[in-house]
């Protein structure tokens, strides 16, 4: 019984960690090439979740199957990410990190209020059936929870392959390492940054969709509120380091769920930050050192 | 003194600008803050339009000596529905009052103020109503913000008749300035305990083991002790009484902890959104006990967000229609009237009957003060409230009838839609409850729980 509870809690931690990981990787990728913390990132989660709801539930006169709706929403949010970067961030990209950071807070308000003005503040949920948990070797999981883990693992794998095996990934790493040097080497860094914005925003949208699958109903503030957890994972892994972000997300997911189960359920997010502070005191560069 | 063309233009330009600005300011005071006529559609939408801190005027004349009534309620955010339900009823009765010649020839204005269901916003909203708008009475606020503003209201002797605050923190604070036309949560908590413990009142079984999951806000916590102590007094066992943080993404841990205590039924006192998550988490985890919900969740909003397999046989608490009002047809008449006035699809919304009673009591109290020849001041109105609502004088059931009786010199006793509205020494009323049960995605009546059973 004790072991079962322990395992079950660990699995819940991994499930939540999977959602955080996708978001954290997206955030850290954009930080890697832009070098500022994007507070508008949470809105990509929100837009991903809401667009999926509306594409699947018929707001635009469409009732797409949920996976198709999710893919369309992720692509649209990716484009939105590029548009946001071109309109708000590119023009001031040479002013330093602080103006960009403050601008990103403003952008997040604009995006959130636009959504609220459009769809209202009512709670929404994805049109997915409610399932009881199945027993997998003593661990209770719904098919959807299993699906979330699978999607997250596949996404991590895809990002790994992108970074290591593709020319775009190499250029992204080069731009992240030293933008001037990358430019001297003939890399169009502006184009690389735009492509990174697309991937980053799309990953945020996917994280939002996964969140919506697990934690419905949700409201337009969902992304902004969850951003704090994503930040914790990103910082824990060492900001700008995608593999660190994945690891950080799993740690945060586990800390939140173990804390909720064995200490008190009222301080879920506090556990995330307790772990973060503890680790950063010992390893300021994050749990995973190194460049990427 | 030299006086060239440039100086002249500057001077006249400045005067013109000042004049235009003064005109704008004057207009702003008159129409920017105050909208005239029926504003029920704004209120119904419950959106950001209604959330603005605006003054809604019910009289075309907008006379300067009008009597202002404040409505400090949430008009935006998660609880915007409360303001959206209450405001049209307030406007409807105010229109009736003004249609009858107002109070001593003065029209009544409704001043709405958005509390955003947040204590900070409520303090600012109520300060504005009391000190700037100089309101002579208040309809509201809700339990969520009552503690934050009750001192301001009582210290300024503002008569408050709230249709929306059941909080137990008012149990021993009312009677002089604070009155309510909604049952105290103490009574609601007892009702839940009695209905849970007794099959006669829940139509399923005598539950003996109860778990409590209570949101960590005053509006929810207010129910906790009454439910627990009443249930234990009845011989039941409370297996766990958990406080849960509102607005969390997931409640798996809390639900597991509740299930580990092995209850037969769990009384869930939380917002609709959290309740949907919690009951679904229970379903996913294979919880086989039942759920009991409070007034906040016993509505179609909760059911529309939940799956039928989760909600089937769930129990819920609601204020029951008052027998006398139902039998005489007054209740149906009111629902028809408010539906038409507000442009709603149906009139049976939460707090509408409580609001009708609150507004009639406040209106009749003002009328009584005016007819007695006293100044229509806050303290005089507060003193008149128990007078117009206490038996055994001539029973009246609406403002028009009551005002006529008062003008004819009668002492009136207002009998309302939610109950006889006889305030006790704490400004509280007793009213019956209805126990509802979910069947096939709809709330159905399981039992009627009269106040004498509590």
The Cα–Cα gap between B365 and B367 comes to 5
Backbone angles phi, psi at B390, to 5 degrees: -115, 130
The Cα–Cα gap between B286 and B61 comes to 63
pLDDT score of B291: 97
- The top-level CATH class assigned to B32-184+320-431 is alpha beta
Domains B32-184+320-431 and B186-319+432-453 share a fold: yes
pLDDT score of B49: 40
The Cα–Cα gap between A117 and B68 comes to 31
* CB atoms near residue A186 (< 10 Å): 7
Residues of chain B with pLDDT under 50: 1-3, 5, 7-63
Domain boundaries, chain B: 32-184+320-431, 186-319+432-453
Domain boundaries, chain A: 2-121+142-282
pLDDT score of B26: 35
Would you call B253 and A214 a contact, using CB atoms and an 8 Å cutoff? no
Judging contacts by C-beta atoms under 8 Å, the chain B residues touching residue A257 are 252-253
Would you call B253 and A261 a contact, using CB atoms and an 8 Å cutoff? yes
- The residue of chain B with its CA nearest to that of A142 is B284
Would you call A260 and B253 a contact, using CB atoms and an 8 Å cutoff? yes
* CB atoms near residue B304 (< 10 Å): 10
- The CATH architecture annotation of domain B186-319+432-453 reads 3-Layer(aba) Sandwich (3.40)
Tens digit of pLDDT at every position of chain A (292 positions): 677 788 888 999 999 999 999 999 999 998 888 888 899 999 999 999 999 999 998 777 778 899 999 999 999 999 999 999 999 998 998 888 899 999 999 999 999 999 988 888 778 888 888 888 888 888 888 999 999 999 999 999 999 999 889 999 999 889 888 888 998 989 998 899 999 999 999 999 999 999 999 998 888 999 998 998 999 999 888 877 888 889 999 999 999 989 888 888 778 888 888 888 888 888 877 776 555 4
Name the DSSP letter for residue B229: H
pLDDT score of B436: 94
pLDDT score of B56: 46
The Cα–Cα gap between A108 and A112 comes to 6
Judging contacts by C-beta atoms under 8 Å, the chain B residues touching residue A132 are 283-284, 286
- The residue of chain A with its CA nearest to that of B308 is A130
pLDDT score of A6: 86
Asked if the bond preceding B392 is cis, omega within 30° of 0, the reply is yes
pLDDT score of A241: 81
Instruction: Please give the structure tokens belonging to residue B254.
Output: 């809390």
Partners of residue A134 on adjacent β-strands: A141
SS3 A51: helix
Judging contacts by C-beta atoms under 8 Å, the chain B residues touching residue A16 are 249-250
When the candidates are 2.60.40, 1.10.3470, 1.20.120, 1.10.4030, the CATH number that belongs to A2-121+142-282 is: 1.10.3470
Judging contacts by C-beta atoms under 8 Å, the chain A residues touching residue B286 are 132-133
pLDDT score of B345: 86
Let me know: does B37 contact B60? Beta carbons within 8 Å. yes
Question: ipTM of the predicted structure?
Answer: 0.80
Helices (H) and strands (E) in chain B, counts: 17, 16
- CA-based nearest residue to B274, from B85, B51, B78, B77: B78
Helices (H) and strands (E) in chain A, counts: 11, 2
Question: Residue A7 to residues A45, A262, A266: CA-CA distances in angstroms?
Answer: 29, 13, 21
Would you call A217 and B273 a contact, using CB atoms and an 8 Å cutoff? yes
- CA-based nearest residue to B300, from B444, B142, B144, B163: B444
Nearest to B284 among A142, A257, A265 (CB): A142
């Amino acid at each position: 019984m004790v072991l079962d509870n322990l395992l079950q809690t660990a699995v819940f931690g991994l499930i939540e960690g999977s959602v955080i990981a996708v978001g954290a990787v997206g955030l850290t990728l954009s930080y890697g090439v832009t070098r500022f913390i994007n507070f508008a990132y949470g809105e990509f989660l929100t837009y991903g979740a809401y667009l999926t709801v509306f594409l699947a539930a018929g707001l635009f006169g469409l009732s797409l199957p949920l996976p198709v709706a999710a893919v369309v929403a992720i692509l649209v949010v990716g484009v939105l990410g590029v548009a946001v970067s071109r309109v708000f961030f590119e023009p001031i990209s040479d002013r330093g990190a602080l103006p960009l950071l403050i601008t990103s807070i403003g952008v997040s308000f604009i995006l959130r209020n636009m959504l609220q003005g459009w769809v209202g503040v009512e709670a929404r949920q994805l049109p997915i059936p409610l399932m009881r948990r199945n027993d997998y070797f003593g661990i209770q999981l719904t098919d959807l929870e299993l699906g979330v883990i699978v999607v997250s693992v596949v996404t991590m794998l895809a990002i790994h392959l992108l970074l290591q095996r593709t020319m775009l990934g190499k250029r992204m790493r080069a731009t992240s390492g030293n933008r001037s040097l990358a430019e001297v080497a003939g890399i169009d860094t502006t184009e690389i940054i735009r492509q990174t914005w697309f991937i980053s925003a799309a990953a945020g949208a996917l994280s939002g969709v996964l969140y919506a699958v697990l934690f419905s109903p949700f409201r337009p503030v969902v992304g902004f509120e969850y951003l704090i957890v994503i930040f914790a994972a990103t910082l824990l892994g060492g900001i700008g380091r995608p593999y660190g972000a994945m690891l950080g997300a799993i740690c945060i997911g586990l800390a939140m769920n173990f804390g909720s189960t064995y200490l008190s359920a009222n301080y879920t997010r506090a556990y995330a930050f307790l772990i973060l502070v503890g680790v950063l005191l010992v390893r300021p560069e994050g749990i995973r050192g190194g460049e990427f | 003194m030299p006086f060239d063309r440039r100086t002249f233009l500057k001077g006249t330009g400045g005067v013109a600008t000042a004049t235009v600005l003064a005109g704008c300011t004057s207009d702003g005071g008159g129409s920017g803050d105050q909208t005239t006529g029926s504003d029920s559609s704004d209120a119904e939408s419950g959106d950001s339009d209604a959330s603005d801190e605006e003054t809604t005027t019910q009289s075309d004349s907008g006379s300067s000596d009008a009597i202002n009534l404040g409505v400090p309620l949430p008009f935006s955010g998660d609880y915007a529905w409360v303001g959206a339900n209450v405001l049209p009823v307030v406007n409807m009765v105010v229109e009736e009052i003004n249609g009858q010649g107002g109070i001593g020839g003065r029209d009544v204005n409704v001043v709405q103020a958005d509390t955003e269901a947040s204590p900070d916003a409520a303090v600012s909203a109520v300060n504005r109503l009391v000190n700037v708008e100089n309101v002579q009475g208040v309809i509201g606020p809700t339990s969520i913000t009552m503690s934050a503003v009750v001192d301001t209201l009582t210290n300024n002797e503002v008569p408050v008749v709230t249709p929306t605050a059941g909080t137990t923190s008012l149990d021993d604070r009312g009677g002089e300035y604070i009155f309510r036309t909604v049952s105290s949560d103490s009574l609601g908590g007892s009702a839940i305990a009695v209905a849970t413990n007794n099959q006669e009142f829940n139509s399923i079984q005598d539950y003996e083991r109860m778990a409590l999951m209570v949101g960590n806000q005053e509006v929810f916590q207010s129910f906790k002790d009454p439910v627990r102590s009443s249930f234990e007094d009845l011989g039941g066992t409370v297996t766990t009484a958990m406080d849960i943080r509102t607005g969390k993404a997931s409640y798996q841990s809390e639900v597991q902890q509740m299930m580990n205590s092995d209850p037969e039924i769990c009384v869930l006192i939380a917002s609709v959104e959290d309740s949907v998550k919690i009951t679904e988490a229970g379903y996913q985890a294979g919880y086989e006990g039942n759920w009991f919900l409070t007034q906040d969740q016993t509505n179609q909003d909760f059911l529309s967000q939940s799956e039928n397999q989760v909600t089937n046989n769930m129990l819920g608490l609601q204020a029951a229609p008052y027998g006398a009002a139902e039998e005489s047809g007054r209740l149906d008449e009111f629902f028809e009237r408010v539906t038409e006035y507000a442009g709603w699809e149906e009139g049976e919304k939460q707090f509408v009957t409580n609001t009708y009673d609150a507004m009639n009591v406040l209106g009749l109290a003002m009328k009584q003060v005016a007819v007695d020849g006293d100044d229509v001041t806050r303290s005089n109105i507060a003193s008149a409230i128990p007078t117009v609502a206490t038996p055994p004088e001539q029973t009246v059931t609406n403002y028009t009838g009551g005002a006529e009786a008062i003008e004819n010199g009668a002492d009136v006793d207002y009998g309302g839609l939610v109950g006889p509205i006889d305030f006790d020494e704490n400004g509280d009323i007793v009213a019956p409850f209805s126990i509802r049960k979910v069947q096939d995605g709809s709330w159905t009546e399981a039992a009627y729980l009269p106040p004498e059973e509590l």
